[in-house]
Structure 1
Amino acid sequence: MSDSVPMTPECYARLQEELKNRIKVDRPKVVQDIAEARSHGDLSENAEYDAAKDRQAHIEGRIAELNDKLARAEVIDPKSINTDKIVFGATVTLFDTDSDNEVVYQIVGEDEADIKQGKISVTSPVGKALIGHTLDDEVRINVPSGTRIYEVTEIEYK
């Protein structure tokens, strides 16, 4: 995979911090845990050793994943975007015509999506459906419970 990974500056910084922590804290700790478990003798029946090796595999896998994402990162600062269309980084206010409710979503990368914070992934069905629309557009989005119809009432880049 050589596709770029869109993310906000905040997400990029958070992933860099996690990578640094995995390399400087988690990796040395698990190496120490493996050495300690080895010192307990027979490795064939050593649950501590097996658990430490599993943790090591998980940590190394996450380090590789973070390195890959950061190498392919396309950092996009929403404040620098100047368009009237919905694109990555947009904070969109939608009016749900069925429920007469307003919802606000920010379109972000997969690593920062959190529906409780109103952050949806650009690759999610809702995120994909919103991309390219402009103010006052009617957007039909297929969700598990059926088709929802939203009207775009505000687009901000903040």
Structure 2
Amino acid sequence: MSKAFTRETDAADDDGEDPSLPPLPAGTRNYMTPQGYANLRAELFSLIDDERPKVVEIVHWAASNGDRSENGDYLYGKKRLREIDRRIRFLTKRLEIAEVTDPSVHHGRSQVFFGATVTYVEENGVERTVTIRGIDEADSLKGEVSWVSPIARTLLKSSTGDVLKLVTPQGWREIEVLDVTYPAPSKPSIP
């Protein structure tokens, strides 16, 4: 069979999901901070308004050059278009179901809710600080964890001074909540 009549299949193509991000647990909401929502929205509009039109232009130019079977610009461009379209579908779905939650409403409280920055100490004396974020916005390199992660689920609804049991692959580990902080509410601008 000629390669022209085959289609690259990818499970992610069919449902629009991005395989690099975890799926939402069944029956849960897609909590997100206002900043995380704005970042995803900016990425979506950048893909739609900037990147996709540029790639479409390249593919159009490459297609006009004739033989497409060995045309690297055309083949790469079509592949890149599929990737962009998949990401656009994913972002659109996630933004549609997003529930924006402003963590600054809890400013000054010592109980852990979504958006909290929590400092805790493990039983071996190692102190760690994590910020609880949405699934789509958590960045482990910045010390952020998803609200559905084991550490976040253990910390949620606890308070400063609580001793908790964290389930790890190595077994139970005790942790103590040392500090809970939230971002300060932004002051409304006066015109």
TM above 0.5, yes or no, is yes
Q: 2:103 aligns with which of 70, 78, 81?
A: 78
Distance 1:48 1:155 in 2: 52
* Higher helix fraction (1 or 2): 1
31-40 or 146-155, which deviates more: 146-155
TM-score, reference length from structure 1: 0.89
**Percent of aligned pairs sharing the same letter:** 38
Q: Does residue 122 of structure 2 align to residue 96 of structure 1?
A: yes
Number of residue-to-residue matches in the alignment: 157
Q: What residue number does 2:3 align with?
A: none
Stretches of structure 1 lacking an aligned partner (at least 5 in a row): none
Q: Is the contact made by 1:2 and 1:72 (CA closer than 8 Å) also made in structure 2?
A: no
Q: What SS is found at the alignment partner of 1:89?
A: coil
Q: What residue number does 2:20 align with?
A: none
Q: What residue number does 1:54 align with?
A: 79
Quote how far apart the aligned CAs of 1:148 are: 2.8
Q: What residue number does 1:141 align with?
A: 166
Q: Does residue 59 of structure 2 align to residue 34 of structure 1?
A: yes
* Higher strand fraction (1 or 2): 1
Q: What SS is found at the alignment partner of 1:44?
A: coil
Stretches of structure 2 lacking an aligned partner (at least 5 in a row): 1-25, 184-191
- Aligned structure 1 segments of 4 or more residues deviating by more than 4 angstroms: none
Q: What residue number does 1:25 align with?
A: 50
15-24 or 80-89, which deviates more: 80-89
Quote how far apart the aligned CAs of 1:9 are: 0.9
Quote how far apart the aligned CAs of 1:140 are: 1.9
Quote how far apart the aligned CAs of 1:145 are: 4.6
Judged with a 3 Å threshold, the aligned counterparts in structure 2 of structure 1 residues 12 and 134 are, in CA distance, closer, same or farther, namely same
Q: What residue number does 2:69 align with?
A: 44
Quote how far apart the aligned CAs of 1:106 are: 0.9
Q: What residue number does 1:106 align with?
A: 131
Quote how far apart the aligned CAs of 1:85 are: 3.1
Distance 1:4 1:136 in 2: 29
Quote how far apart the aligned CAs of 1:116 are: 2.5
Q: Does residue 34 of structure 2 align to residue 9 of structure 1?
A: yes
TM-score, reference length from structure 2: 0.75
Q: Which amino acid aligns with 1:4?
A: R
Q: Does residue 180 of structure 2 align to residue 155 of structure 1?
A: yes
Distance 1:146 1:29 in 2: 51
Q: Could you report, residue by residue, the CA deviation over 1:92-122 in whole angstroms, capped at 9, with x for unpaired residues? A: 1101121x13211110012221222121111
Quote how far apart the aligned CAs of 1:134 are: 2.2
Distance 1:145 1:112 in 2: 28
88-97 or 78-87, which deviates more: 78-87
Q: Which amino acid aligns with 1:19?
A: L
Q: Could you report, residue by residue, the CA deviation over 1:32-88 in whole angstroms, capped at 9, with x for unpaired residues? A: 011011012112222321111110011011111111111111111111137653221
